[in-house]
Amino acid sequence: MTSTATDSKRAVVVGSSFAGLTAAFELRKHLDRKHEVVVIEPRDHFTFIPSLIWVPFGKRDPEDVTFKLEPVYAKKGIRFINDAAASFDLDNRKVITTGGEEVAYDSLVVATGPKLAFDRIDGLGPENGYTQSVCNLEHAMQTREAWERFLQNPGPVVAGTAQGGSCFGASYEFLLNTHHRIRKAGLEDVAPVTFITAEPFLGHFGLGGVADSQQRVEKYFDKLGIEGIANNVITEVRDGEIELKGGRKLPFAFSMIVPSFAGVDAVSRTEGLGNPAGFIPVNDEFRHEEIENVYAAGVNVAVAPPQQTEVPAGVPKTGQMSEVMAKVAAQNMAADIQGGERREMPMSEMEAICILDGGNTGIIFKADHVLGESEHPRVMSGPQAHWAKIAFEKIFMGSRKLGHPIL
C-alpha cells in the first residue's frame, strides 16, 4: 500500500483542463475526507479553451478566459502541485514530476490532454513555422499579434485542420470568426478566405456527419463566399504559401491550422501506458485496459474513428465529452478506494454536443452517439448559436471557480 496512513489512500489526477478539473472535483465529492486528492498540473491556471477563438480578435483577454487553480482546489481540500509529470513508475505507483518529486498514488487518472504535433508537417505552427494556432493561450496571443500585422497588410486567409487532426470544431469556429472580422473591416475584396480540412466532406466533424450537416455547411460556405477543400493533405508550409498534395499552392497573408495531436512525452516514454501514438487505451469504466489502478479521461484517451477515411481524421473529444469521461473514471476510482457503486459509459453511447460560433451567428449540433449512427441528431444554425456559446462560457467559468462541476 502506498498510503502513509493505514486507513487513508491517495487519488492522483495528472492534468487540470476539462477532464482533470472535473475528475478532481468528483473525487473530492465521492471520497471520504480521510482520503487525499492530489492534482499535478504544469500551468497555475485553468484556460477555457473554447473561448480562445475570440482572443486573436481582442474579444477576450487572458483574464477573461482563465482562473487560478490553487485557490479553487484549496477551498475543496485538494492538494495542488504546480509541476508537470515527467514519467510514471507503474510498478511502484508513483508519478515523477519534472521537479524530481515522486508522488505516490493508490489510484491514478491521466488527463494530460495532447501534445500538439506541428512537427509532422514542415513549416506548420507558430514556433518553428508560418501558421498560427488557437490550441492554447500562448498561441492565441501570438495569433492576435499576427492578426494585427494582417490588418496592416491584408491578403488571402487560409484556416483549417491538418491531416490526422480531430479538433475540427475549433478550425470551423476560427474560420467563421475570421470571415466575420474581415467583413467588418471591409477587407473582403483583398482577403479571400479558404478552408482546408482532413474531413472527407465539409460538416463531417470526425463523426461521419450529423444529420444534414454537410448540406448546411456547404450552403453556409457558399453564402459567405468561402472555398472549402475537404479530403486534404498538407505537404509543406512555406512563408506565405501552403502546398497541398497534388501540387496546389494556396497563398496566404494569415493562416491558422489546427495540427494533429499526439500523446504527451510522459505517457509515450512510460512503457505499457500508452499505445504507439501515445494515447491511453481504456475500457468502458475509463480504466486502463491492462493496468488496474490507472484511469484516463479527455483528449489523451485512445478512440478509434467510426470509419476509415481516405485522409486520416480523428474523433473529436470535446470538453463536454471529457467531463463525462472524468466523472465516470472518478466514480470508479472512488469505488476502488472505499467501495461503492461502479459506472460504465461505452464510448459508442456517449453523445456529442458542440456550439460553433460564427461571430454573430453559428451552428449547434448534437449527436446521440459519438461513434455510429445517431437516432435523433439535431443541427440548427442562426444567431442563437452565438448567444448560446457566450452563455455557456459564463455558466462554465462561474461554476468552476466555485468548484461546482456542473455539466
- Give the residue numbers annotated as catalytic, written as ranges: 167, 354
Say which residues have a Cβ less than 8 Å from residue 336's Cβ, sequence separation at least 6. Answer: 106, 107, 293
Q: What is the CA radius of gyration of the chain?
A: 21
Please count the CA atoms within 13 angstroms of the CA of 10 that sit on its side-chain side.
19
The residue among 39, 66, 40 whose CA lies nearest residue 51 is 66
Directed axis angle between helix 319-338 and helix 18-30, to 10°? 30
The dihedral built from the CA positions of residue 209, 211, 214 and 216, taken in this order, carries a sign that is negative
| DSSP letters for 182-210 | HHHTT-TTT--EEEE-SSSSTT-TTTT--
At 258, the amino acid letter reads V
Instruction: Give the DSSP letter of residue 349.
Output: G
| Whether 354 contacts 169, CB under 8 Å | yes
Return d(Cα 105, Cα 91) in angstroms, integer.
11
Return d(Cα 326, Cα 330) in angstroms, integer.
6
At 340, the amino acid letter reads G
Say which residues have a Cβ less than 8 Å from residue 118's Cβ, sequence separation at least 6. Answer: 124, 125, 127, 128, 129, 133, 259
158, containing H or E segment: strand 157-161
Overall residue count recorded for the chain in this entry: 407
